[in-house]
Structure 1
Amino acid sequence: MKKQTLLPAGILMIAIVFHFRAMAQQPVPVASNLTDVTVFLNGALVSREGSVSLEPGTRELLFSGLPAEINAQSVQVQGTGNITILSVNYQINYLKSPEENQQIKVLKDSLQLLQNMVNLKKSALTVCDEEEAFLKSNRSIGGTNTGVNIADLKAADEFIRARFAETGRLRISLSKEISDLNEQITRISNQLNNLSNLNQPTGEVRVKIMCPSKTKASLRLSYLVNNASWTPEYDLRAEDPSKPVELVYKGSIVQNTGEDWNNVHLTLSTGNPSLGGAKPELNIWFLDFYYPQPARILKSAKAEAVPETSEMVIENDEVVARGYGTMHKLTGTEPAVTGSSYTEFSENQTMALYSINLPATVPSDGKPQLVEIRKEKPDAMFIHYAAPKLDPDAFLVARITGWEKLNLLPGNANVFFEGTYTGQSYLNPGAIGDTLDVSLGRDKGINLRRERIKEFTSRQSLGSSRKDTRGFEITVRNNKKVPVSLMLQDQIPVPVNKDISVDPVEISGGNLEKQTGKITWNLKLAPSESKTLRLVYEVKYPKNRQVILE
């Protein structure tokens, strides 16, 4: 009897021991919240904070529901409290999907509502079908031994016709409503397919700690994710030539990391961790005679495509804006406060940092979120520029100096003048000189005319040579009520063959740059003042050859 009673008791004791041992081996979950995000030009450093109550001994803590695209080498854990961090490991959990964000939940609720509405409409169609079937099966009236009087027949006919007409109209209306609802369901389903992360794994960080006594520990987890970036964008605003230019520095943030950044402290950094920080090393460059190898002929049914190359040319360090649109000014005493008022700028040896002291939210949807981070008013001088050979209009240009102190990065710039959007340009600090020229648009207050002078348009043969002469007259008039400074440019051809020579005959005091053939006139025009310039040049070349001139 004792053996029969001791055996179940022993099994129970063993089960209790294994239960508590299994409980001791289970990691302690840490509930954490996003607090800080530093976005780089490629990648982002995300920080989380959480706290947990611990019993004495060695424990394993678990941060779960993290993005799957974490750089494992970047994971760091810091803690406060009477604990010792023994190890930190990052792993991917393929059995758990990320939590759905609010946008996905709203879309799913809308999809369910639309499907319920479709089901109701289909039920109404079924009722129409049953009513029509009932009417068809009860068309015959009266008995087999009695006839039907004309009044009853007419009434029955009118009733059946009216019901068939009503059910037909209802069927058409319900079918149209079902079709419209299905279109909405298709659009929402496509959007859900783009946003859904149900089949994606999640990341988790396991932290092994040791605590000598019961304590409450605070932990900070940071890691680098790759699916995030920011790009600079600019607004260049000029209200009046007598006022300084305003340069608005913006950051366009995009992230698709799998977790929403809700109410976080956001910092934009000009650093790029993906480039690496290891300095380059020069290896020995061995030099020997070159022995060309015989070319091999490859027989193929299709020729291999040669990739195309493109070249970007920048002329005169000038940024040209195209397009027009008007922005109406709002009346008021003070302009609205923007994000740049809450942004702190700092700079270290390798990067610049823009810390935004307002809670920011950036969802994980791959859509750009624009934040304003800085405003500057660099020194600028306004001039007019014209090249009548290419365009009959004059352009107002802001010549910005001191831009190299602004830590600019390459990016698109929206140009505004007097509240009017004049177009988009591209700022590339690495390709411009000491002065940044920004075109603010056309100025119709200056008239230009470039005409060919007939008496200076000729061709002569001199022995074995031929001489072509071209002449142009350029007329400029200032119709504005204020004096203007105009930089006017034209050109003569630059020969690339020693048998061709180009000689300027008359340039009306312009400055000729021989290497480029550009001629520049810096004119001062009083109100209603006109000036006329002449450009005449000669081209000599062998008589048996041909050149093309304008």
Structure 2
Amino acid sequence: MTITEPPPFEPSKIELNSVTDSKIIAVSLYSTRAEITRLFKFEVKTGQNQVHIAGLPNVLETESLRVEGRGAATIHDVTVSMAKGEHIPTSSPKLSELLSQREKTANALARCEKALTSLEQYLGSLTVQHLEVSHLDKVLEQYDSTGGRLDVKKTELTEELRRLDAEISDERVLIAVPHENSKLRMQAAIGVFADSEGAVEIALIYAVPNATWTAFYDIRVDMDTKEDPVTLIYKAAIKQNTGESWDDVPLQLETSTPTFGLGVPTLSPWNLSVYQPPPPMQMQRAVKSARKSRSFALPSMPALPLASAALLGGEDEYQLPEMRYEDASVTSKGNVSATFRVPGLVTIPCDGDAHNFTIVQLSLKAAMSWVSVPKMDAKTHLNARITNASEYTLLAGSASVYVDGSFISRSDVPAVSPQESFDCPLGLDPSIRITYHPVLKTRSQSGFYTKTVTHVFSQRITVHNTKAVSIEHLKIVDQIPASQDSQIEVRLVNPALVLPSEGGAGTSKRASVMLKSQPQAPVVNVANGIVAQWDGTDESAVDIDTLGRDRKLNWVCAVPAQGKINLALEWEVTAPARVHVVGL
């Protein structure tokens, strides 16, 4: 009895190209890479189908590829490979035609030059014996006519040859240009088993590098607006050079950064022991060995560079600083991450250029403040304390700052979570004029047996607000000297601030003290709308016990429109008469 085996089963083969047979339906863009979702729709036959997808980007991260399907079919296996390199042509029909024309033109030019040479030789061979004088005129006329015709032909052929050479060069450059799909040579093979014939959908989801986005901002400040004076335009600069063009795609911007193989670091044991010097015999052997090795050192061995010597524990105390790497990732301080969806569909070509999109425009509250250090510079700096009252997480990025429609400066915005605040410098405000008057000095001496010298210094500062509106928070920063020797005593007279370590804020004849809840920072009311304090008092994370140690103080002032205020700083320096004080 003969057993007939069934014929071998050949799976149905389906050839697809990612550029022409699919559409990008989602792009999630991270700070250093993008996740692409491509959707393919095609017909399958009952049974096994082998789907071959070509035209995927070369930079596709194969470990990230996953396949999802919809329809009456089952995905069996997925393999990814790089297509073999295409044969780069070295010729073309046009190039062959141009080369043929050039050869014909070159031959014609050679014949023309040979004819001119023969004409010259013929004229030179004529003698009196072979040519009668009566025929000389006719011969010269024919020579001139024939030579002129050949000269014109030679010029035309030379120009034609030059033109053909230029066209041949251009055609060879055109042939050498890689095809547009040279960056799309990755391919995927997917086994699909279909229960029945019909249409199915397969989505390829994969990650690609060479795609980035960074945040940047336009900050516009209207000084005449009291309610929400700051308009912040949140923008994204997107670059991609993945090999494929993103045409009419929904774009989602992610603030998180994918990590690979990242774990919690572990601490190695930290042991302490007593140093045990080696025995004398071992030390002598070590010295002899070192001398011997130096005597047999290769003379051509170059000296270690400074950085290498430092790494090997060289004796030079100077070491080059370690290189720093800029961290490209941004972590949201509110939630773990935030996601922004760009409105509508966007198109981002594969060109590596920055394409800018607006995420949102926000109206934010801000507290304006002015600060000046007139001892160093009488200019007044304007600053805005902006509160992010929106639901958007602001990533770190650069900002172009405009005040009343005029470009002021470029600044950096830190990472800011919702309801968090950040400082934004707004440049100089020339309408606040500060005069730092010359310091007045007096000297007195006291004591009979132990003589002491007291120097009294008085500094006056005048502030003029030329604005038509009042300002509420102007900070003037100054300092008094700090003693570095117990023989020198420095005492602040006016304003009557004391150090927290000396009993906190006290009262004086010159000013009253504003009491605060414990622990207290010394604050003195100098006049109506003017408060004196140690510099740093109004900072949130300040250690009160450290206030005043650097002897820096400031006045926080409210200045009326078109008004002037005067600030006074007075201090005493006392030292023995025999001591020469340096720095006064």
Please classify the TM superposition score into its range, dividing by the shorter chain length. Answer: 0.5 to 0.7
Letter in 1 for 2:560: A
Q: Which residue of 2 aligns with 1:421?
A: 407
Check if 1:506 corresponds to 2:494: yes
Q: Partners in 2 of 1:126 and 1:522 — Cα distance?
A: 94
Shift in Å, 1:360: 1.1
- Which protein is bigger by CA-based radius of gyration? 2
Range that drifts further, 534-543 or 365-374: 534-543
State the AA in 2 paired with 1:303: P
Aligned to 1:80: 70
Is the CA contact (8 Å cut-off) linking 2:241 and 2:350 kept in structure 1? yes
Partner-residue secondary structure (3-state), 2:11: helix
In the superposition, relative to structure 1, how do residues 388 and 201 fare at CA in structure 2: closer, same or farther (>3 Å)? same
Aligned-partner Cα distance in 1 for 2:445–2:175: 76
Structure 2 residue 426 is the aligned partner of structure 1 residue 440: yes
Indicate which of 334, 345, 350 corresponds to 2:336.
Answer: 350
Query: Which of 80, 87, 90 is equivalent to 1:91?
Result: 80
Pair 1:399-2:377 in alignment: no
| Matched residue, 1:323 | none
Listed one character per residue, the Cα deviations across residues 457-508 of structure 1 (whole Å, up to 9, x for unaligned) are 8799997998776553322212222223351322326759565764333346
1:237 aligns with 2:220: yes
Instruction: Kindly indicate whether residue 61 of structure 2 is the aligned counterpart of residue 54 of structure 1.
Output: no
**Aligned residues of 2:413 and 2:424 also touching (Cα < 8 A):** no
Query: Which residue of the other structure, out of 20, 23, 40, is the alignment partner of 1:33?
Result: 23
Q: Which moved further from structure 2: 516-525 or 457-466?
A: 457-466
Output the amino acid matched with 2:27.
V
The code of the aligned residue for 2:303 comes to A
What does residue 264 of structure 2 align with?
Answer: 280
- Counterpart of 1:302 in structure 2 is 304
Q: How many angstroms apart in 2 are the aligned matches of 1:125 and 1:493?
A: 92
Alpha-carbon distance in 2 for matches of 1:390, 1:35? 59
C-alpha displacement of 1:83: 0.4
Which one-letter code corresponds to 1:506 in the other structure?
A: N
Q: What are the residue-to-residue correspondences of 1:146-157 with 2, within 5 Å?
A: none
Query: Relative to structure 1, is the Cα distance of residues 224 and 428 closer, same or farther in structure 2, using a 3 angstrom cutoff?
Result: same
User: Are the equivalent residues in 2 in contact too, given 1:241–1:382 (CA < 8 A)?
Assistant: no
Counterpart of 2:90 in structure 1 is none
**CA–CA distance in 2 between the matches of 1:219 and 1:461?**
97
Deviations 1:423-474 (A, max 9, x none): 1111113799964232223222222222332x32879999799877655332
The TM-score, its normalising length taken from structure 2, stands at: 0.63
3-state SS of 1:392 partner: strand
Distance 1:548 1:496, change over 3 A: closer
Larger CA deviation: 240-249 vs 286-295: 286-295
Q: CA deviation at 1:82?
A: 0.7
Counterpart for residue 314 of structure 2: none
Does the 8 A contact of 1:94 with 1:201 survive in 2? no
**Deviation for aligned residue 1:546:** 7.2
Residue 329 of structure 1 corresponds to: none
Partner Cα distance (1:230, 1:490) in 2: 40
How far apart, CA to CA, are the structure 2 residues paired with 1:359 and 1:450? 58
C-alpha separation in 1, matches of 2:322 and 2:483: 24
Correspondences of 1:128-527 after superposition (within 5 Å): 145=131, 198=182, 202-242=185-225, 244-274=229-259, 280=264, 286-291=269-274, 301-305=303-307, 306-308=319-321, 350-402=336-388, 406-429=392-415, 435-453=421-439, 455-456=440-441, 471-492=458-479, 495=482, 497=484, 499=486, 502-507=490-495, 510-513=532-535, 514-527=548-561
TM-score, length basis structure 1? 0.67
- Partners of 1:29 and 1:450 lie apart in 2 by 78
Distance 2:444 2:132 in 1: 117
Aligned with 1:242: secondary structure?
Answer: coil
Percent same amino acid at aligned positions? Answer: 23
Aligned to 2:298: none
CA distance in 1: counterparts of 2:575 and 2:466, whole angstroms: 43
1:116-136 superposed Cα distances (whole Å, 9 cap, x missing partner): 99xx99x99999999999989
Distance (whole Å) between structure 2 residues aligned to residue 203 and residue 464 of structure 1: 92
Change (3 A) 1:530 1:124: farther
Question: 5+ unaligned residues in a row in structure 2: which ranges?
Answer: 1-6, 87-93, 279-285, 295-301, 308-318, 325-332, 496-525, 536-547
CA contact (8 A) 1:75 1:90 kept: no
Indicate if the aligned counterparts of 2:57 and 2:243 stay in contact, CA closer than 8 A. yes
